[in-house]
Chains A and B, each alone.
Chain A
Amino acid sequence: MATTDLATTPTPSPAASGSLSTTDTPPTQIAGWGRIALPGHEVFGEDLERLSARPTLFRGLGRSYGDSSLPASPSATVVNTTLADRVLSWNPETGMLRAEAGLSLYTMNRLFLPARWFTPVSPGTQFVTLGGMVASDVHGKNHHVAGCFGQHVRAMRMRVADGRVLEVTQRQYADLFWATVGGMGWTGAILEVEVQLQRVPSPWITQHTEQVGDLETLVGRLKEVSRTWPMTMSWIDCLKRGKNMGRGIVFYGRWADAKDAPATFPAWRGEVALPVDAPSWALNPLTMGAFNFGVYRSHIPRHKHAIVGPETFYYPLDYVRSWNRAYGLSGFTQYQCVIPDDAGLRAVVRFMELLTASGAASFLCVMKDCGPEGEGLLSFPKAGTSIAVDIPVKADTAAVVARLNKLVIEVGGRIYLTKDSFTTADDFRAMEPRLDAFLEARQTWDPERRFASAQSVRLFGDDPTGAR
């Protein structure tokens, strides 16, 4: 494909002599954030329209944990969008942004926060792309007031399976829009995204943190603070059982008013990288317990108040650039589910009992109260309590996930596909009453499953050869 470019093509590298066609090169290992790799081909490029001329699954920064962004088969190709990162239009008066799908939230924050514009919804990392934020329909600490990312999206430019490139909005091709929001890339390739950013009064956040001793108090406190605070979440020590189960720290905050905020702009933090893979023995109950104890006990006094920058508040883990290496080469999965409000506190307690009894959980578990379900046909959140926990991969991980899923299905909850690696097709169907509506939209827009991923092969039984 290189040969079709002339003057606007950058001078490339010299040393390589392989063919540019991916089909005659051996597959490479591609992994999500959980480091469980699958073989396939990954293509990078600036021109997403050209790269999707043959419909192909897109991936961004690879921060989905499991197989969401991985190829359906070793002969399949995925297009990495991160080189397509141009801002196409930006209105500093209205906060309307249109950009290529590979633009990262990291860049958006650096470009627009100085002018007091911020993403309407932020996940827990900045290392995500606009396209990925739509495909996962990400939610954040403000879900109970702002919903998911997708509802703030005004338009998308998409490549669909029949080869057309469409401008898709909440009115035009609305079925495609809401199937794509949270649709994990299965309905087409997102080329461009137009989104309304949020005006913030200052680039600082007023943050409160409270130490809480048990699960019941913690869940209650989350509900209470979310009535008056637009951003809430909590960290729980998920190694603790019995009366200490659910002890943790509740975080809540809001953008600081200009009069309360420092006059300076919060410094963007440097980063450190974890340079090596941790050996398999590094994560054991002793080290993890010590870490959790440290996080909990160092929180003195019990209630703290601070004005902090958004990186401190939203992205504490981004500080360690490759923290997933702490899980070593065998990798990890994240289990994230939502337990609906109508199942009551009892269901949350049962889930935590099951989780702690399994001994599978590692460091911290993140708990957050979600607002009502949005319109995305496969969007994760619904009114209830979201629980997310990292699980290092071991021989019994699939069985642990199956046990957790059984409880989640029983209480009417669901899991977050972006984190998932192990859920079975049957379990997913049982927890997703909207599945038929989604599959109908998929049948309309991609009847041949050209945009299949390893995850859709696992969850829908797609023919892995449909994606080339």
Chain B
Amino acid sequence: MNTIILGATRGMGRALARQMAARGDTLFLLGRDEDQLAHSAADLQARGHEGLPGTCVCDLADATTFAPALSAANAALGTVDCVVVTAGLFAPQDQLVADLALTWRLFDVNLTGTIVFCEAARPLLLADGGGTLCVFSSVAGDRGRKPVALYGASKAGLSYYLEAMDHTYRGAGMRTVCVKPGFVRTGMTAGLKPPPFAGDPDPVARRVLSAIDRGTPIVYAPAMWRWVMLVIRGLPRFVMRRIGF
């Protein structure tokens, strides 16, 4: 499988890229930092990738980087079977409330940037017969909740877009996989107290990889979050107003 992955240098993207490399997929890495991309490419080669994966700088906050990065990837891979976006921005609610410029940036990256990137990548997939678009949203987008009002809103918008992509293009062969991670212990959640059902990147990546292979439209990871969110989506508003979750 030929895969373009944006966000492979860290966290869940790193774990997913390693599993793809180990099973023989061909990868092309996109990310903001050239050095980090080079390090991750070397790491993936040592972990089983045939030769060094190609890399190109691409920043979700800068839409002008999308087209050059995608065409470099397309040229290197020949055909594109899968595009994965694990990159995104997170900040705690209190920090976002206190810093509206940061809030703006968060929506820029998680919502506008990600959607525009997907729009730019979609023709590549469709031109090669469809393939899979796999994007990391979040369980935070499933319900309006006090502790993640802003971050959750950015992910809710993204989840809606991904659902519509799936409805629109599955007939044309492009499958859209919306990943909704719960709490996963990565550099991003460092310093936060892990709640119950916290997960680790490797098992989450295994789950995501199997969802990509099967074309599952929505995947919660760790799996327990599917049931947690089922309950939370079912809670009446007067309960949501009272609880802190």
> Which residues of A are interface residues toward B (Cβ below 8 A)?
1-3, 5-22, 25, 28, 43-47, 83, 86-90, 111
Task: For residue A33, give the distance in angstroms from its CB to the closest CB of chain B.
Answer: 20
Contact A86–B186 (Cβ < 8 Å): no
Complex Cα distance A368/B188, Å? 43
Are A9 and B139 also in contact (CB < 8 A) when A3-B95, A43-B191, A44-B187 are?
A: no
Inter-chain contact B191/A8, CB cutoff 8 Å? no
Which residues from chain A contact B47 at a C-beta distance below 8 Å?
A: 87, 111
Write out, one digit per residue, whether chain B residues 33-54 have a CB within 8 A of any chain A CB (1) or not (0). 1001001101101110000000
Residues on B with C-beta less than 8 A from A15 are 139-140, 147-148, 182-183, 195, 245
Q: Which single member of B148, B181, B184, B193 contacts A25 (CB below 8 Å)?
A: B193
Contact in complex: B94, A17 (CB < 8 Å): yes
Contacts of B151 in A (CB 8 A): 14
Complex CA–CA separation, A6 to B183 (angstroms)? 19
Contact A12 to B42, CB < 8 A, known contacts A6-B89, A46-B11: no
**Are B60 and A88 in contact, with the CB atoms below 8 A?**
no
B155 contacts A by Cβ under 8 Å: yes
**Distance to closest chain A CB from B115 (angstroms):** 14
Does the CB pair A111–B46 fall under 8 Å?
Answer: yes
> Please, which residues of chain B bring their CB within 8 A of the CB of A46?
9-11, 14, 186-187
Which residues does B use to contact A, with CB under 8 Å?
6-7, 9-14, 30-33, 36, 39-40, 42-43, 45-47, 58-61, 86-95, 102, 105, 109-110, 113, 136-141, 147-148, 151-152, 155, 179, 181-195, 198, 201, 245
Interface pairs (29), CB distance under 8 Å: A1-B191, A2-B190, A3-B91, A5-B188, A6-B105, A7-B58, A7-B113, A9-B10, A9-B90, A9-B187, A10-B11, A10-B13, A10-B88, A11-B11, A11-B137, A11-B188, A13-B184, A13-B198, A15-B147, A17-B92, A17-B148, A18-B92, A21-B191, A46-B14, A83-B186, A83-B187, A87-B42, A88-B42, A89-B42
Interface centre among A5, A11, A13, A19 (most CB of B within 10 A): A11
Collect the chain A residues with CB atoms within 8 Å of residue B182's CB: 13-15
Task: Please give the distance in Å from B55's CB to the nearest CB on chain A.
Answer: 11
The docked-state distance in angstroms from the alpha carbon of A355 to that of B92 is 54
A17 to B140, CA, bound (A): 11
Report yes or no: B192 in contact with A20, Cβ–Cβ below 8 A: yes
Is the beta-carbon distance between A14 and B87 smaller than 8 angstroms? no
Cα distance A19–B99 when bound, in Å?
A: 14
Known: A10-B87, A16-B183, A47-B187. A87 touches B109 (CB 8 A): no
Q: Given the complex, which residues of B lie within 8 Å of A1, measured CB to CB?
A: 190-191
**CB neighbours of B137 from chain A (8 A):** 11
Note all chain A residues with C-beta closer than 8 A to B192. 13, 16, 18, 20
Contacts known (A16-B189, A22-B191); A8 close to B7, Cβ less than 8 A: yes
A90-B193 contact, Cβ under 8 Å, with A6-B61, A8-B10: no
Cα–Cα, bound, A444→B103 (Å)? 45
Does B33 contact A8, Cβ atoms closer than 8 Å?
A: yes
Determine if A6 and B245 form an interchain contact, defined as CB atoms under 8 angstroms apart: no
Tell me if B140 and A10 are in contact (CB < 8 A): no
A242 to B236, CA, bound (A): 73
Which residues in B have their C-beta under 8 angstroms from that of A2?
89-91, 188, 190
Decide if B7 touches A10 in the complex (CB within 8 Å).
yes
The answer to whether A8 touches B90 (Cβ under 8 A) is: no
Shortest CB distance A116–B (Å): 15
- Determine whether the beta carbon of A7 is less than 8 Å from that of B191: no
Tell me the complex Cα distance, A8–B42, Å: 17
**Are B140 and A7 in touch, CB under 8 angstroms?**
no
B46 and A9 contact, CB distance less than 8 A: no
Q: Which of A11, A25, A88 contacts B88 (CB 8 A)?
A: A11
Q: Is the CB of B188 within 8 A of A14?
A: no
Interchain CB contact (< 8 A) of A88 among B43, B61, B105, B189:
B43
Q: Which of A14, A21, A89 contacts B140 (CB 8 A)?
A: A14
Q: How far is the CB of A192 from chain B (nearest CB, A)?
A: 10
Q: Chain A residues near B46 (CB, 8 Å)?
A: 87, 90, 111
For residue B89, which residues in chain A have a CB less than 8 angstroms away from its CB?
2-3, 5-6, 9
- Could you tell me the distance between the alpha carbons of A14 and B145 in the complex, rounded to whole angstroms? 10
User: Would B60 and A6 count as touching, CB distance under 8 A?
Assistant: yes
Known A-B contacts: A2-B188, A12-B184. Give 8 more (CB < 8 A). Answer: A9-B11, A9-B89, A10-B14, A10-B86, A10-B201, A11-B90, A14-B155, A14-B183
Q: Is the CB of B10 within 8 A of A14?
A: no
Assembly CA distance A367 to B245 (angstroms): 54
Cβ of A7: which chain B residues have Cβ within 8 Å of it? 6-7, 30-32, 58-61, 87, 109, 113
Question: Do residues B59 and A6 form an inter-chain contact, with CB atoms below 8 A?
Answer: yes
Cross-chain contact A3 with B140 (CB below 8 angstroms): no
Chain A residues closer than 8 Å to B12, beta-carbon distance:
10-11
Give chain B residues whose Cβ lies under 8 Å from the Cβ of A18.
92, 191-193
Q: Do the beta carbons of A8 and B39 come within 8 Å of each other? A: no
Complexed CA–CA distance, A137 and B58 (Å)? 41
The distance from the CB of A94 to the nearest CB of chain B, in whole angstroms, is 14
Residue of B43, B110, B155 with most chain A CB atoms under a 10 A cut-off: B43
Residues of B within 8 A of A88 (CB): 39, 42-43
Interchain CB contact (< 8 A) of A19 among B94, B141, B184: B94
Whether B93 contacts A13 by the Cβ 8 Å rule is no
